Amino acid sequence: MEKTTNYEKPLPQIRPDTAPFWEGCKRHELLIQRCSDCGTFRHPPRPMCPECNSLNSEWVKVTKGTVYSYTVVHDRPMPVLYLPGFANDRPLAIVLVELPEAGNIRMVSNIVDCRSEDLKIGTPVEVVFDDVTEEITLPKFKPTA
């Protein structure tokens, strides 16, 4: 996707626990954290497994999912949408994508290449990457062809 130099939307703060996730995105790989001891997936990334309290984890590449739920913002009900960077994004579809390759954990994202009126729960999607700055690449999803 096109690289933007004057990106006006909020950007994630990369922390030690999330750095492998964002480094993967930069390489155009969606990596989900999995406990190395019991195999439980977790997202967002964090130090400890909620199932077995292990501090050991590994990263698993995933590529596809399904739309578990979504909302479409048509006019400024959310304060974040008052930011100038979102001025031309309405209607804006925000999706909750379920990732079967990662134990069906769900992540919030945006959908691209899909009109909001065509969006449906259960739509199969695949990850795509938006290089929004030199440092940050955001994972987004598009309907599977």
Task: Give contact residues for Zn ion (rule: CB under 5 A).
Answer: 35, 37-38, 40, 49, 51-52, 54
The answer to whether the CB of 105 falls within 8 A of the CB of 41 is yes
Residue placing its CB nearer to Zn ion in the complex, 38 or 78: 38
Residue placing its CB nearer to Zn ion in the complex, 39 or 91: 39
Shortest distance in whole angstroms from residue 59 CB to Zn ion = 15
The answer to whether the CB of 89 falls within 8 A of the CB of 8 is no
Residue placing its CB nearer to Zn ion in the complex, 38 or 80: 38
Shortest distance in whole angstroms from residue 39 CB to Zn ion = 7
How many CA atoms lie within 13 Å of 135's alpha carbon, on the beta-carbon side? 7
Shortest distance in whole angstroms from residue 38 CB to Zn ion = 3
Residue 75: what residue type? D
CA distance 127 to 113: 12
Shortest distance in whole angstroms from residue 49 CB to Zn ion = 3
Distant-in-sequence, close-in-space partners of 91: CB < 8 Å, separation ≥ 6 = 72, 73, 74, 116
Residue placing its CB nearer to Zn ion in the complex, 4 or 53: 53
Dihedral Cα 38, 28, 2, 7, nearest 10 deg: 40
